[in-house]
Amino acid sequence: MTVFEFAKQLVGKDCRSVIYGAGTGSVAALGFGDRLRRIKQLGNPNLSEADRKFASELELTVYCSWRLSHNDRVVCSWRDNEDLPSRTGLGGLVGRGVEAAEVRPGTHDLEIIFDRGFRFQVFCDVTNNLDVDDNYLFATAEEIGAISLNSEPAPIERRAKVLKPVD
Q: Given a cut of 70, is residue 83 above it in pLDDT?
A: no
Domain extent listing, the chain:
3-165
User: Mean of the pLDDT values across residues 46-72?
Assistant: 91
What is the pTM for the complete model shown? 0.88
Looking at 12-16, 104-108, 150-154, which range is the least confident one?
150-154
36: nearest Cα among 141, 158, 142, 137: 141
pLDDT of res. 91:
87
pLDDT of res. 137:
96
